[in-house]
Structure 1
């Protein structure tokens, strides 16, 4: 008789990647696909990467808000996320100024800056969620601790 499969819960990192990163990349991916099929659409825009950065940092801020213990790390991570959100707000303001007709800000450099910043935000958020996943795994009770022992076959 075969043993029933035990499924481990999906990690916070996997959920974050599927729910937050994948959804945050939708505007970037749609714009990229649209520019392939439609003339006159830019491949990349600062607004899409700014939105992606907002999504990443808000997800960190939200997840850490429910964390207990390790208050120093929690405060540091929250501060980094708040600074990231403020930076993206500043970039959004710069983009709005450009859209109003102000021509002293170079759109290409603004777009490149937001792309680089979004990549840095992704790496930072990945590291934070990796730590949250490790912490969650470490705090899960083992099967023997909750009284479940694997079945043994006797001859």
Structure 2
């Protein structure tokens, strides 16, 4: 695994998972029923971190085709829009919204986002660096 992927795993994935891990710790140390184990907003944050990272990395990397960069940025922007809608829905009263359905949607979407982000960093890590000729 290249250093680019390791940095992505540590700086992006682990940082993006902080809200989920924090909620898990709080859930463990609080009385039963006081804190939900899963929250859609935590998965929204994770997905947003992944896609914002994708956009940033793609924009600052010149070793890939322009069409691929445009496609990946478009995908990330689309996912950011979905996450924005899902986050707005989480702010609505639980009496109106099916919280379980939103939680499942955000979990599935964040898994898809993880796979997309992995594919972006996998491709970028295989492109030789323009200055050194080594694989990043």
Alignment of 1:18-33 (within 5 A): 18-33=10-25
Task: Give the aligned partner of residue 13 of structure 1.
Answer: 5
CA distance in 2, matches of 1:87, 1:70: 26
Tell me which of 105, 112, 115 is aligned to 1:123.
115
Structure 2 residue 96 is matched with structure 1 residue 71: no
Structure 2 residue 38 is matched with structure 1 residue 56: no
CA distance in 1, matches of 2:121, 2:113: 12
How far is 1:108 from its partner?
Answer: 0.9
Task: Give the aligned partner of residue 133 of structure 2.
Answer: 141
Structure 2 residue 83 is matched with structure 1 residue 88: yes
- What is the root-mean-square deviation of aligned Cα atoms in Å? 1.8
Q: CA separation of 1:122/1:139 partners in 2, compared to 1, >3 Å: closer, same or farther?
A: farther
Task: Give the aligned partner of residue 105 of structure 2.
Answer: 113
Aligned residues: 130
CA distance in 2, matches of 1:12, 1:45: 30
In the alignment, structure 2 segments of 5+ residues that lack a partner are: none
Larger Rg: 1
Q: CA separation of 1:76/1:41 partners in 2, compared to 1, >3 Å: closer, same or farther?
A: same
Q: CA separation of 1:139/1:11 partners in 2, compared to 1, >3 Å: closer, same or farther?
A: farther
TM-score (norm 1): 0.78
How far is 1:67 from its partner?
Answer: 2.0
How far is 1:138 from its partner?
Answer: 8.7
In the alignment, structure 1 segments of 5+ residues that lack a partner are: 1-9, 143-155
